[in-house]
Chain A
């Protein structure tokens, strides 16, 4: 009864505030799970490859058989340290594995080995770029090592659930942010940043469809200007950037509506349903979680000395922000272009290979790599490394634009032919006769032809209808089948049309 009274009092206050045009602030924190790209599992020697037949990659340790002991994978440790160093975090000299206890059929031991009080990585930061181009620093509270659970399948099993434990024991790095994001877009920008970083570091393949990179979003709303956090809900296991954005947007609107209509947001776990575009409560997890963490007696504390940490630091690659800054400085690119081109190591490497092949044309190379090339890859759903068009070939095409053998417009035609046939630019230009016409006499001939063909338009132009200049450019270009050097054509038209 008491609770209900408080409830209606809240309704009155919120309702009034809303009528005055109450503004809400969104508060988001993300927990990202990145599967580490090790060959074997975190505590056993079973393989981690995706897509194997059910349970063929689950050994006695993964299955939680009695009498087995977990032994920590050195590569998983190295990968976690790489991530920690890349975000400027503290690497714990001593970290401890703990048991997180809960019952679920995809968790054979009845507990997940994770880290709780002493994680391997604590206190880093990542910078994201907001829509207006400004930067925002997001705190990373911690990143800890843990094991993944198996998978539950419900399809076609006549009311039963099938359990595949191949994924059980796959190493995960759980990356926990501070609740510092203020919109769904910021959350997506942060998630993309982490995604880029783990791939740069080669610690996670980032394949979201296969679940190698997924996230839980903690979302709450509060009146703008308030410094008290509202009650949050946790949206579990979202595995695409678009779904994260939509799930958060839906959840924010839902929470505001609940409060506006006099209700209270309940702290709970929710699932995003992409088909219906909404989040819904996960009833099975409604009861308050009580994981009863305690240090795992099967595992000793993990100790890392300074020399080890420094040896890992020495192997770090050039990181995305540093690379973007270098691209801006070295190639004179805008921050935006530098950001796009460094979104993945593969794209950045490809771009740099193209610029090496066509020196002095970094902007031209950037436009083509981000434009035609990216569009063609996207259209066919190909990866950069699919080898469809090597950087050397693309540079060959750009060289012919730079030396004015062909115009930018014709180059697009050549590009399409190269993409389809695999031929190099010079071969396509020669076989299709696309070489740009720079011979003044030939261009003049085409112009004279057009002037003779359109006497009425010529008369109008000479009577002062300047707009018709464009008409003659178009016709003359057509007469040369698009091959006339545009600058020359313009200059010659200006000379000849007035008579």
Chain B
């Protein structure tokens, strides 16, 4: 299955990746090959096979008790932030 230029650009946008227009044809080809490879799965017979949400067959989600186990350590966590004011992480303006 060959991906179109528009599809590649759409995927790049969803992933917030900036593509050089000159690179797009290369991604068209390489992504198409990946999709083709996965497409081989469609040729396998899955009759009677229930879809799996997880490869760890037989294991189920463990639950934790509703208890507070984490203490405030925001000063340390915020050392990684480019900019912080009054405890808030600052980012370029987003407006709805």
Name the distance in Å between A21's Cβ and chain B's nearest Cβ.
38
Most buried by A among B14, B56, B60, B89: B89
Given the known A-B contacts A105-B91, A164-B88, A300-B56, are A285 and B64 also in contact in the complex, defined by CB atoms under 8 Å?
A: no
Given A55-B78, A58-B74, A301-B61, are A45 and B69 also a contact pair (CB < 8 Å)? yes
Interface residues of A in 273-305 (CB under 8 A from B): 282-285, 290, 292, 295, 297, 299-303
Q: Which of B51-96 contact A (CB under 8 A)?
A: 53-54, 56, 59-70, 72-74, 77-78, 83, 85-96
- Inter-chain contact A57/B72, CB cutoff 8 Å: yes
User: How many chain B residues touch the partner (CB < 8 A)?
Assistant: 36
Q: Is the CB–CB distance between B53 and A96 below 8 Å?
A: yes
Q: Is B16 an interface residue (CB 8 A)?
A: yes
Q: B66 to chain A: which residues have CB within 8 Å?
A: 38-40, 73-76
List of A residues within 8 angstroms of B85 by Cβ: 157, 162
A46 CB-CB contact with B under 8 Å? yes
Any B CB within 8 A of the CB of A271: yes
- Residue of A with least CB distance to B66: A75
Candidates B16, B61, B64, B87; contact of A56 at CB < 8 Å: B87
- Confirm or deny: A446 has a beta carbon within 8 angstroms of a beta carbon on chain B: no
Q: Please, which residues of chain B bring their CB within 8 A of the CB of A159? A: 93
Interface centre among B63, B64, B88, B95 (most CB of A within 10 A): B88
A59 touches B70 (CB 8 A): yes
Question: Which of B10, B54, B94 makes the CB contact (< 8 A) with A105?
Answer: B94
Given contacts A73-B64, A295-B53, 8 further A-B contacts (CB under 8 A): A54-B87, A54-B88, A55-B78, A72-B61, A105-B91, A154-B93, A284-B96, A300-B53
**19 A-B residue contacts at CB 8 Å?**
A40-B69, A44-B70, A46-B68, A47-B68, A47-B70, A54-B74, A55-B78, A55-B89, A72-B62, A72-B63, A75-B65, A105-B91, A152-B94, A161-B92, A162-B89, A290-B10, A299-B61, A301-B54, A303-B61
